[in-house]
Amino acid sequence: MPAMPPVLPHPAAAAPTEPADGTPAFSPLYQQIKGLLTRELQAGVWKPGEAIPSELELASRFKVSQGTVRKAIDELAAENLLVRRQGKGTFVATHAEQQVQYRFLRLMPDDGVPRDMARRLVDCQRLRAPAPVARALDCRSGDAVIQMRRLLLAGGRPVVFDEIWLPGSLFKGLTAERLAEYKGPMYGMFEAEFGVRMIRAVEKIRAVAADASSAPMLGLPVGSPLLSVERLSFTYGDRPVELRRGLYNTEQHFYRNELN
């Protein structure tokens, strides 16, 4: 019989937050439950793809109503940390899930029908972190980082040219050969083989022109219009774990974002 996850502290025991003016502020009960569940996810109590206990079991453990647990789980599902499956239960989200693996890539063909893109690794090397990369990844200038460059192709044509930076301490053993051998999504590899899960990301987007180094990669004349997307991805605890600078050819694609 698999070991049961440890009993978590009752949410009522959670410490209040302290705003700048020193006045205690208490979060809603469902937010406390959400925080406790997030900590368990971060600690690996339930692995990616594994079912979590039912809402009734969690309500009994936390001594709260099932509705409170449901609201906490609803938010975690909306944030793609959990996945509900009708008639089966709630599972820890994994980047192997079709609806999760491409959630940070917002490039869409002009006909609006999403399609998988082929990947082509250009190179992968271990370097000393340049100062701007170190600042973004919250490490020291000169620390070991991994830089990789790759292309995403649609219909055999390069559409995205990515430069990706990763902290070397979290991705020991990551090589070009290992990347080439892995057939699933890259974030799935980071999750399965290095225990690093991308939780959220922030992006900076601007219009640029293809220069002498990027134009040949995308098969375009120098000066062609491109969309520059700089993305910083975070894992649990808001720790930055990936800096990605992508150049997008939007001649037959558009950048789609859904605002709520």
Please give the residue that has the higher pLDDT: either 33 or 47: 33
pTM value?
0.75
Range(s) of the chain covered by CATH 1.10.10.10: 11-92
Q: How many residues does the chain have?
A: 260
Q: What is the pLDDT of residues 172-205, one digit of tens each?
A: 999 999 998 888 788 888 988 898 988 889 999 9
Residues with Cβ within 8 Å of residue 221, at least 6 apart in sequence: 210, 215
Is residue 106 scored above 90 in pLDDT? no
Q: What class, spelled out in words, does domain 11-92 have in CATH?
A: mainly alpha
Is residue 9 scored above 80 in pLDDT? no
Mean pLDDT of 160-170: 97
Please give the residue that has the higher pLDDT: either 141 or 94: 141
Q: What class, spelled out in words, does domain 98-255 have in CATH?
A: alpha beta
pLDDT band at 224 (very low <50, low <70, confident <90, very high): very high
As a whole number of angstroms, the distance between CA 194 and CA 260 comes to 33
pLDDT at 145: 97
Range(s) of the chain covered by CATH 3.40.1410.10: 98-255
Angle between helices 29-43 and 55-62 (to 10 degrees): 110
Name the range with the highest mean pLDDT among 22-36, 49-63, 76-90, 210-224: 210-224
pLDDT at 18: 45
